[in-house]
Amino acid sequence: MKILGIETSCDETAAAVVENGTTVLSNEIASQVDIHARYGGIVPEVASRQHTLSIIPIISRAMTTAGVTWQDLDAIAVTNGPGLAGSLLTGVNTAKAISLARSLPLIAVNHLEGHIYANWLTGKPPEFPLVCLIVSGGHSDLVLMRGHGDYTLLGRTRDDAAGEAFDKAARLLGLGYPGGPVIEKAAASGRATLELPRAWLKGSHDFSFSGVKTALLRLSEEGKLDSTADAAASFQTAVVEVLVTKTIDAARECGVQQIILCGGVAANKALRQTMLAQSPLPVLIPPLPLCTDNAAMVAACGYYRFLAGKTAELSLDVVPNLKLT
């Protein structure tokens, strides 16, 4: 079964064709990073306009790369939330038009659920029950997954998500945008010498990264950041330590078989290495291209939703604040 996936939740216009929920036949992305970098962050109106320009060419490229025609496709899956309303509308309306014109079943996919299913594209399917750490620019969530579509929220960020914290720290240190990659690059030549706080929120699986960001700001204002590299390394270490420790604690408490990671921040080398080194359980992490926003994860998730009979009507609308649980 071949599913066409479409992803336009934020600033990446993406299309992919995935077979049987596990085999990536194509995964094409038109990135807007260079456009938004000049503003120091994503401008929603600019993002939606770029999606409009890129969506049809990127779908055509995905189908050409996969070597498929419309007749070869069994369904079309599209992200309908959470995300930026204008960006989501471009993908959803395009998918609805194709669904109607080509008589293809339409499948609505939650963006966070899509990130989880990037782990089904690794060649080794995850084992249930599992704990998933979703870390991205807008989300830091811990989810217990007992089976396909069976989610229990264990914890989430109470303020800044990890990716958002990286963006703000990078801006503070004058490193540019997006924050995650530039912090990681700077940290590679630094040492974690700064005393930065960790918010453990004892008795809870929730996260909080506002305090460590504020502590970095105070040190900057007091002129105590002698080395940008050391500051980046210290900040990255603090964030990674909390993410890893709280994920492992949740996995132990729930008695799961495995830990999986997903989302853009899961591309961070320090997070990947620390989780693999410290976890007493098997850890599965998607390859780097499947951590950031892409359509292969949407198509993979769409496959399992289709098997469960979860198709959408042409009245499907976007839900910018769509919840996973």
From residue 152, alpha-carbon distances to 145, 155, 162, 281, 304 in Å are 7, 9, 20, 20, 18
Q: Is 82:112 a contact under the CB 8 Å cutoff?
A: yes
**pLDDT digits 0-9 by tens, 167-194:** 999 999 999 989 999 999 999 999 999 9
The four Cα atoms 184, 251, 299, 59 give a dihedral, to 10 degrees, of -10
**Taking the mean position of all CA atoms in its chain, how far away is CA 163?**
10
pTM for this entry: 0.95
* CATH numeric code, 2-117+290-307: 3.30.420.40
Report d(CA 240, CA 196) in Å as an integer: 12
Q: Is 256:281 a contact under the CB 8 Å cutoff?
A: yes
**pLDDT digits 0-9 by tens, 195-247:** 999 999 999 999 999 999 999 999 999 999 999 999 999 999 999 999 999 99
What pLDDT was estimated at residue 36?
A: 86
Q: In what order do the strands lie in the sheet with 23-31?
A: 23-31, 12-19, 2-7, 75-81, 106-110
Q: Do domains 2-117+290-307 and 127-285 have the same CATH topology?
A: yes
* C-alpha atoms less than 13 angstroms from C-alpha of 296 in its C-beta half-sphere: 24
Q: Which residues contact 97 (CB under 8 A, 6 or more apart)?
A: none
Report d(CA 40, CA 325) in Å as an integer: 32
Classify 56 as helix, strand or coil. Answer: helix
Report d(CA 317, CA 132) in Å as an integer: 27
Q: Is CATH 3.30.420.40 correct for 127-285?
A: yes
Output the six-digit token pair for 220: 């900057």
Mean pLDDT for the stretch of residues 294-315? 98
Could you tell me the residue ranges of all domains in the chain? Answer: 2-117+290-307, 127-285
pLDDT band, residue 32 (cuts 50/70/90): confident
Closest CA to 299 of 94, 62, 48, 61: 62
* C-alpha atoms less than 13 angstroms from C-alpha of 88 in its C-beta half-sphere: 19
Output the six-digit token pair for 206: 């929730």
What average pLDDT is seen over the chain?
A: 96
pLDDT band, residue 265 (cuts 50/70/90): very high
Report d(CA 82, CA 75) in Å as an integer: 21
Closest CA to 236 of 172, 174, 283, 191: 191
> 1-15, 36-50, 198-212: which range is least confident on average?
36-50
User: Which amino acid, one-letter code, is at 61?
Assistant: R
Share of the chain above pLDDT 70, in %: 100
Asked if the model's pLDDT at residue 73 lies above 90, the reply is yes
Phi-psi region of 40 (alpha: psi -120 to 50; beta: other; left: phi over 0): left
Q: Which residues contact 193 (CB under 8 A, 6 or more apart)?
A: 227, 230, 233, 234
